[in-house]
């Protein structure tokens, strides 16, 4: 089924995008460490993404980021921030060591002066954490899990864009400044308290900048072949560290280097965050409080109007794309063409997930008297939206006839209906 929109809907959506910048509220789980010290983890949804960087990406000086498709088949949770010195002391029963170089000590600063063996080896942080929580769920993230969380549905150099207008070294950069710590806003360079910079679209802080982060994988070169749930090469060689460093280029989503699993001497800039699989968070239920204008925070020019029909347990989505200049009135553009205007999707929902048929539209200029038409009345593809809560979700789409597929984060533009949504969710 196809619905016709109009110019006013588009202008309201664009106006709201300008006036109401927004950061997602993610699905979270908080566990209590010894001494009632909290540690919060954020849910990262399963999905497929491109890991590594495209050939020629600016900043790939180490030439070790071969781009390849990765599929993660299970949702997982990842620390909202790097593990802090207070959390380390609570679990280990002793403070962080201070024998690895310049030291910044404080409860809310990330722990460093640590090694892979001290974190994930026998008697390490992970073992003691699982023992305390009577669990086997907690671990270090794999390298693929780390990069998916850092990208948060984006394909740019950073989760906040390519930022090609700024130096890749230590120069001032307004685009980076609210998002990460690096030598452009830290002098002298060193760790800063966690969570002070904006969260990424998945609700995670400091995935770019502050400290390098140790992951579970041993270091190895990437292949171009698609992989599912990769865990890295075996053996006892160097491990991978991700995400931190002094200069801007080394903080890109794809940046990766190796480190000895037990070399503490260089670890005054290396910390970690915890991952877990199989945790239970309060399940979100789709309801009519989601009816609103939404957008894709990872790019300009994409908006969504979502309508939920609880009496039929169905959802309707109109997906708009925008151009700076309107196409000629007689253009009959298709998805993927520069002048394409919109497509629609409709179908049932259950729990936090809607599974919809996509109808690719043809025509449909907004003030035209002629309505748009679908290229296939039985549907051209599939859209699956999983909502984390009343303000954020992940949209996956597949349109075989156009050879298009992908995953994008979506966020509500304005918060007027959030109170209604939350009230309906708790009924």
Long-range Cβ contacts of 92-98 (<8 Å, 24+ apart): 92/125, 92/128, 93/34, 97/264
| CA distances to 7, 74, 150, 288, 391 from 20, in Å | 20, 33, 24, 22, 13
Same domain, 345 and 406: yes
Q: Which residue has the tokens 């864009």?
A: 161
Angle at 271 (CA atoms; ends 269, 36), nearest 5 degrees: 135
Do 240 and 293 share a domain, yes or no?
A: no
Question: What is the pLDDT tens value at each position of the chain, 427 positions in all?
Answer: 222 223 333 333 333 332 223 333 457 888 899 998 999 999 999 999 999 999 999 999 888 999 999 999 999 999 999 999 999 999 999 999 888 877 788 999 999 989 999 999 999 999 999 999 999 999 999 999 999 999 999 999 999 999 999 999 999 999 999 999 999 999 888 899 999 999 999 999 999 999 999 999 999 999 999 999 999 888 889 999 999 888 999 999 999 999 999 876 556 789 999 999 988 655 688 999 999 999 888 776 678 999 999 988 899 998 876 554 555 555 544 444 545 556 788 989 888 889 999 887 655 444 445 555 555 667 788 999 999 889 889 998 888 877 888 888 899 988 888 989 988 876 6
299 lies in the same domain as 381: yes
Residue 172 shares a structural domain with residue 82: yes
User: Quick check: is 106 in a domain?
Assistant: yes
CA distance 109 to 392: 28
Q: Where are the beta strands (DSSP E) in 18-142?
A: 28-33, 37-44, 47-51, 68-72, 76-79, 138-139
Residue with token string 């609880």: 310
The CA distance from 387 to 393, in Å, is 4
Q: Is residue 1 part of a domain?
A: no
78, β-bridge pairs: 42, 275
Please indicate, yes or no, if residue 287 is contained in any of the structural domains: yes
From CA 408, how far away is CA 85, in angstroms rounded?
Answer: 34
Same domain, 69 and 126: yes
Q: Based on the domain organization, do 289 and 241 belong to the same domain?
A: no
Domain around 418: 7-20+283-426
Whole-Å CA distances, 395 to 6, 270, 322, 327: 24, 34, 19, 27
pLDDT of residue 381: 87
User: Where among 226, 244, 276 does a domain terminate?
Assistant: 276
Q: Does residue 117 lie in a domain region? A: yes
Instruction: Say if residue 122 is in the same domain as residue 214.
Output: yes
Kindly state whether residue 175 falls inside one of the protein's structural domains: yes
Same structural domain, 254 and 315: no
Q: Which of 297, 197, 202 is nearest to 244 (CA)?
A: 197
Alpha-carbon dihedral angle through residues 261, 132, 284, 21, given to the nearest 10 degrees: -50
Q: Name the pairing type of β-strands 37-44 and 28-33.
A: antiparallel
Residues 90, 214, single domain; the answer is yes
On whether residue 2 sits in a domain, the answer given is no
Name residue, tokens 């549905």. Answer: 153
pLDDT at 341: 54
pLDDT at position 262: 87
Distances in whole angstroms, Cα of residue 56 to Cα of each of 67, 83, 151:
11, 34, 18
Predicted confidence at residue 21, as pLDDT, reads: 30
Output the CA torsion 139→145→151→153 (10° steps): -120
Instruction: Tell me the H-state helices in 273-373.
Output: none
CB atoms within 10 A of CB 378: 7
Does residue 250 lie in a domain region?
A: yes
Backbone φ and ψ of 334, nearest 5°: -115, 165
Find, among 55, 56, 64, 68, the residue nearest to 221 by Cα: 64
pLDDT attached to residue 115:
92
> What are the tokens at 353?
């997930």
Q: Which residue, of 222, 247, 276, is where some domain finishes?
A: 276
Rounded (10°) angle between helices 125-133 and 85-92: 70
Instruction: Give the residue among 389, 341, 399, 331 at the shortest CA–CA distance from 13.
Output: 341
- With respect to residue 331, please indicate whether it lies within any of the assigned structural domains: yes
For residues 395 and 356, is the Cβ–Cβ distance under 8 A? Answer: no
**Whose CA is closest to 254, among 144, 390, 102?**
144
Residues 98 and 15 in one domain: no
Joined together, the tokens standing for residue 120 give 């994930």
Q: What is the pTM of this model?
A: 0.67
Same domain, 223 and 290: no
Same domain, 34 and 83: yes
Four-CA torsion 207, 209, 215, 218, nearest 10 degrees: 130
For position 228, which CATH number holds? 3.90.1580.10
Residue 379 has a pLDDT of: 78
Give the number of domains in the chain.
2
Which one of 214, 241, 276 terminates a domain? 276
CATH number at residue 390: 2.40.128
């Amino acid at each position: 089924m196809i619905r016709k929109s109009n110019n006013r809907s588009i202008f309201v959506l664009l106006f709201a995008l300008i006036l109401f910048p927004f950061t997602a509220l993610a699905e979270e789980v908080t566990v209590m460490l010894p001494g009632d010290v909290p540690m919060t983890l954020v849910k990262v949804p399963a999905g497929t993404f491109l890991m590594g960087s495209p050939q020629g990406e600016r900043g790939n000086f180490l030439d070790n980021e071969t781009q390849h498709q990765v599929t993660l088949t299970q949702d997982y949770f990842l620390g909202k921030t790097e593990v802090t010195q207070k959390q380390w002391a609570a679990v280990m029963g002793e403070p962080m060591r201070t024998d690895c170089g310049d030291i910044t000590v404080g409860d809310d600063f990330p722990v460093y002066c640590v090694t892979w063996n001290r974190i994930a080896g026998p008697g390490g942080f992970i073992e003691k954490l699982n023992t305390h929580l009577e669990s086997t769920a907690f671990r270090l993230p794999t390298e693929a899990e780390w990069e998916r969380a850092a990208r948060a549905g984006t394909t740019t150099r950073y989760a906040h864009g390519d930022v090609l207008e700024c130096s890749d070294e230590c120069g001032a950069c307004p685009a980076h400044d609210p998002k990460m710590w690096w030598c452009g806003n830290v002098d002298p360079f060193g760790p800063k308290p966690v969570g002070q910079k904006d969260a990424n679209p998945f609700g995670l802080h400091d995935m770019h900048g502050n400290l390098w982060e140790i992951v579970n994988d041993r270091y190895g070169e990437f292949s171009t072949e698609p992989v599912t749930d990769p865990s890295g090469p075996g053996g006892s060689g160097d491990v991978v560290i991700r995400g931190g460093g002094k200069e801007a280029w080394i903080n890109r989503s794809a940046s990766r280097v190796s480190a000895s699993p037990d070399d503490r001497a260089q670890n005054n800039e290396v910390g970690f965050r915890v991952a877990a699989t199989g945790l239970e968070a309060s399940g979100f239920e789709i309801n009519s409080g989601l009816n609103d204008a939404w957008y894709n925070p990872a790019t300009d020019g994409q908006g969504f109007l979502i309508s939920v029909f609880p009496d039929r347990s169905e959802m309707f989505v109109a997906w708009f794309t925008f151009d700076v200049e309107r196409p000629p009135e007689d253009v009959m553009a298709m998805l993927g063409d520069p002048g394409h205007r919109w497509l629609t999707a409709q179908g049932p929902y259950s729990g936090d997930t809607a599974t919809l048929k996509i109808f690719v539209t043809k025509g449909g200029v907004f003030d035209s008297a002629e309505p748009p038409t679908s290229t296939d009345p039985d549907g051209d593809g599939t859209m699956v939206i999983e909502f984390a809560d009343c303000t954020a979700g992940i949209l996956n789409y597949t349109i075989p006839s156009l050879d298009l597929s992908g995953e994008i984060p979506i966020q509500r533009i304005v918060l007027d209906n959030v109170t209604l949504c939350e009230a309906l969710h708790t009924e």
